[in-house]
Amino acid sequence: MSTPAYKRVLLKLSGEALMGGDAFGINRATILRMTEEIHGVVSLGVQLAVVIGGGNIFRGVAPGAQGMDRATADYMGMLATVMNGLALQDALKNHGVDTRVQSALNIDQVVERYIRPKALRYLEEGKVVVFAAGTGNPFFTTDTAAALRGAEIGAEMVLKATKVDGIYSADPNKDPNATRYSRISFDEAIVRRLEVMDATAFALCRDQKLPIKVFSINKPGALRRVVCGEDEGTLVQV
C-alpha cells in the first residue's frame, strides 16, 4: 500500500467537476467516481477536508440572474455550494466514509455552522469535512475559501482539482507544444495571471506558506498519487 506524504490536506473541487458531460447539475457517475478516489485517500489515514464550488448548480439559473445585484448572485452561489456539499456527503456516506458538512452561512436545519475547533476534531476522528458556502461573504470566490480554510485547519497543502493535469506554459488544448510545469512560484503565478486560482487565493497561500498542488481530478488515481508525494500535477509554492 502507498504511504501518504501528507497527514492533512484540503481538496478544492469546482462545481463544474461534478457535471461530467452534462450542461449543469450533478452527474451521478462522476460524483461516485470522485467519492471512490476520496475513500481511497482517507483509507490511507489522510485527514481530508473539501471546499466545493457551486458553478454546476448556479449555471442552470445563470440566464435568469443576468443584471442581478452581484452580492445577491454571490449568495445564490453560496447556497449552490451547500447543495453540492450535501450531495457529496450522501455519496461518501454510501461508500462508508463518515462526512460532515459545515456551512459559512447559518442553515442549521440542513447543515452545521462552520466552527473551527469542531472541524479540527472531526478531522482528527477520521471524518471528511466539507466546507460549504464559501467564506460566507460576497465578492470572495470558493478558491479564496479554500485558501482560508486550508490555513485555518493547518492543512499541509491545498489540492486544486481541475480538468487538466497541471499548469502549462500555454493552453494544452490549443497548443500541442505546451509544456507542463512541475513546479512554479506564487509570484510567477500571480505575475503571469495564471487562471488556476484567483489572485486573492494565491496571495493568501503565499503569505501563509501553504503550497498548492494543481492536478486533474479526471485522471484515475491522481488524488492518491498527489497525497503520496508522487510526480503528479504542478506544485505552486513560495
**pLDDT per position as a tens digit, 50-72:** 999 998 887 666 666 677 888 99
* CA angle in degrees (0–180, nearest 5) for 43-44-50: 70
Does residue 17 have a pLDDT over 60? yes
Residue 104 burial (C-beta neighbours within 10 Å; 0-12, 13-18, 19+): buried
**Grid cell of 203 as nine digits:** 496571495
22 annotated to bind ligand: no
Residues 6+ apart with CB under 8 A from 230: none
Q: Which fold has domain 8-237?
A: Carbamate kinase (3.40.1160)
Q: How far apart are the first and last CA of the chain?
A: 31
**Percent of the chain topping pLDDT 70:** 97
179 annotated to bind ligand: no
- Alpha helices of the chain — where are they, by DSSP H? 28-42, 55-58, 70-94, 116-124, 142-152, 186-191, 199-207, 222-227
Q: Which of 96-100, 148-152, 191-195 has the lowest mean pLDDT?
A: 191-195
12 annotated to bind ligand: yes
Measured over the CA atoms of residue 103, residue 114, residue 236 and residue 208, the dihedral's sign is positive
Better-predicted residue by pLDDT, 23 or 200: 200
State residue 103's pLDDT score.
Answer: 98
Does residue 148 have a pLDDT over 80? yes
74 annotated to bind ligand: yes
The string of DSSP codes covering 147-215 is: HHHHHHTT-SEEEEEESSSS-BSS-TTT-TT--B-SEEEHHHHHHTT-TTS-HHHHHHHHHTT--EEEE
Mean pLDDT value across residues 3-18: 93
Strand bridging mode 212-216 / 112-113: unpaired
174 annotated to bind ligand: no
**What are the backbone angles phi and psi of residue 29, rounded to the nearest 5°?**
-60, -35
State residue 8's pLDDT score.
Answer: 98
Q: Which amino acid is at 198?
A: D
Strand partners of residue 216:
162
Whole-angstrom distance, CA of residue 44 vs CA of residue 5: 10
Helix axes 142-152, 199-207, angle to 10 degrees: 10
35 annotated to bind ligand: no
162 annotated to bind ligand: yes
Q: Which single residue is written with the C-alpha cell 466546507?
A: 131
Tell me the average pLDDT of the chain.
92
Measured over the CA atoms of residue 87, residue 142, residue 231 and residue 217, the dihedral's sign is positive
**pLDDT per position as a tens digit, 196-235:** 888 899 999 999 999 999 999 989 999 999 999 999 999 9
218 annotated to bind ligand: no
State residue 98's pLDDT score.
Answer: 97
173 annotated to bind ligand: no
160 annotated to bind ligand: no
Does residue 172 have a pLDDT over 90? no
State residue 190's pLDDT score.
Answer: 85
67 annotated to bind ligand: no
Mean pLDDT value across residues 94-109: 96
Q: Which of 4-8, 84-88, 117-121, 163-167 has the lowest mean pLDDT?
A: 163-167
63 annotated to bind ligand: no
140 annotated to bind ligand: yes
Does residue 173 have a pLDDT over 90? no
**Residue ranges per domain, the chain?**
8-237
11 annotated to bind ligand: no
198 annotated to bind ligand: no
180 annotated to bind ligand: no
**What are the backbone angles phi and psi of residue 111, rounded to the nearest 5°?**
-140, 165
Model confidence at 49, pLDDT cuts 50, 70, 90, reads: very high
25 annotated to bind ligand: no
**Grid cell of 86 as nine digits:** 450535501
